[in-house]
Structure 1
Amino acid sequence: MTSKPLTLLNLPISIANQVLEKLGPVEILTCRKVCRNLRTAIDKLGTHFNKISIELWSNSVLLDFDGIKITHSARFNGGSYVLFNGRRKTIEGVNYMEVAFKDLKILLKHTSKLYILKRGRYRGNIVNFLVDVLKENAHIHVETLTLDNFSVDDVLLILPLFESRTFEEITLRETFALDQFERITHLDQWKNAKRFNFWISPFDCPPIEYFFHFEDFTINIYNISMQSVIKVRDDLLQRCTFQKCIFFVLNLNLDPVELARVFQPDYAGGDEFKLDYSNGKSKFEINFGDCSFRDGIWKFEIKKC
Structure 2
Amino acid sequence: MTSQNLLIDFPTDVTARILENLDFFSILTVRKVCRSLREFLDEIKIRPNCEVMLKLNENGVYMEFRTPRIQKFVRFEKYDNGCLLIWSDRKMRLFKDESFIEKFLKDYRIFSRHMGSLNSFIFAAYNDTKINNLHPENASFHAKEVTFDQCNIFQIFQFLPFFDSKSLEKIKVLDYPQHQDGKLSKLCELEQWNNCKYVEFAGEDFIPDIQDFVGFQEVKIQCLEISAQKIFLLKEQFLKSSTLTRFEIQCTDDYFDVHQIREIFGPEDEWFFGNGEEVVHFVITELELIVFNRLRLDEVPEGAVINVIK
Instruction: Compute the TM-score of the two structures, normalised by the length of structure 1.
Output: 0.71
For residue 196 of structure 1, report the CA deviation from its aligned partner.
Answer: 0.9
- Structure 2 residue corresponding to 1:213, chosen from 215, 219, 244: 215
Cα 1:105–1:225 change in 2 (3 A) is: same
Report if aligned partners of 2:8, 2:37 keep a CA contact under 8 Å in 1.
Answer: no
- Residue number among 273, 277, 282 corresponding to 2:272 in the alignment: 277
Q: 1:285 to 1:159 in 2, by over 3 A?
A: same
Note if contact 2:24-2:49 (Cα within 8 Å) is conserved in structure 1: no
Aligned with 2:188 (options 185, 192, 196): 185
| Deviations 1:226-248 (CA, angstroms, capped at 9, x unpaired) | 33222222222332322111111
| Partner residue of 1:286 out of 282, 285, 288 | 282
**Mean Cα displacement is larger for which, 148-157 or 208-217?**
148-157
Q: 1:105 to 1:121 in 2, by over 3 A?
A: farther
Structure 1 residues 196-235: Cα deviation after superposition (integer angstroms, max 9, x where no partner): 10125340223x1111111110112222223322222222
Change (3 A) 1:73 1:209: closer
User: Relative to 1, partners in 2 of residues 1:33 and 1:157: Cα closer, same or farther, differing over 3 Å?
Assistant: farther
Describe the superposition over 1:96-132 as per-residue Cα deviations: whole angstroms up to 9, x where unpaired: 87467456534651423322234x669x57x558x56
> Is the contact made by 1:81 and 1:96 (CA closer than 8 Å) also made in structure 2?
no
Task: Give the 5 Å matches for 1:118-197.
Answer: 118=125, 124=129, 131=134, 135-138=137-140, 140-176=141-177, 177-178=180-181, 181-197=184-200
Which string of whole-angstrom CA distances, capped at 9 and with x for unpartnered residues, describes residues 245-273 of structure 1? 1111245665302213433x3x2xxxxx6
Amino acid at match of 2:28: L
Q: Deviations over 1:166-224 (max 9, x none)?
A: 33211111225226621111101111111110125340223x11111111101122222
Matched residues, number? 274
Post-superposition CA distance 1:115-172 (Å, at most 9, x none): 2234x669x57x558x56x74454x432221111122222122211222233321111
AA at the equivalent of 2:184: F
Deviation at 1:290, TM superposition (A): 6.1
Structure 1 distance, partners of 2:289, 2:22, is 47
2:173 counterpart letter in structure 1: L
Q: 1:82 is matched with which residue?
A: 87
- 2-structure distance, mates of 1:137, 1:37: 28
| Letter matched to residue 191 of structure 1 | N
Distance in 2 between the 1:103 and 1:275 partners? 57
Question: Which residue of structure 2 lines up, in the alignment, with residue 114 of structure 1?
Answer: 121
Task: Report the CA distance shift for 1:262/1:167 in structure 2 as closer, same or farther (over 3 A).
Answer: farther
Instruction: Name the structure with the higher strand share.
Output: 2
Q: Distance in 1 between matches of 2:220 and 2:22?
A: 39
Backbone CA RMSD of aligned residues = 3.9
Equivalent in 249, 252, 255 of residue 251 of structure 2: 249
- Cα distance in 2 between the residues matched to 1:23 and 1:229: 48
Could you tell me which residue of structure 2 aligns to residue 41 of structure 1?
40
Deviates more, 1:90-99 or 1:212-221: 90-99
> 1:252 & 1:75 partners in 2: Cα distance?
43
Q: Which amino acid aligns with 1:105?
A: S
Please report how far the alpha carbon of residue 48 of structure 1 lies from its aligned counterpart in structure 2 after TM superposition. 2.0
SS, match of residue 225 in structure 2:
coil
TM-score (norm 2): 0.70
Do 1:275 and 1:285's aligned partners in 2 also have CA atoms closer than 8 Å? no
| Distance change (3 Å), C-alpha of 1:252 and 1:15 | closer
Amino acid at match of 1:42: L
2:116 alignment partner, SS class: helix
Matched residue, 1:52: 51
Asked if structure 2 preserves the Cα contact closer than 8 Å seen for 1:274 and 1:287, the reply is: no
Distance in 2, matches of 1:153 and 1:36, equals: 44
Identity %: 16
Partners of 1:237 and 1:178 in 2: CA distance: 28
Q: Do the aligned partners of 1:145 and 1:169 also contact (CA within 8 Å) in 2? A: yes
Q: Secondary structure at the match of 1:233?
A: helix
Work out which of the residue numbers 195, 214, 231 in structure 2 matches 1:229: 231
Q: Is the 8 A contact 2:47 2:115 kept in 1?
A: no
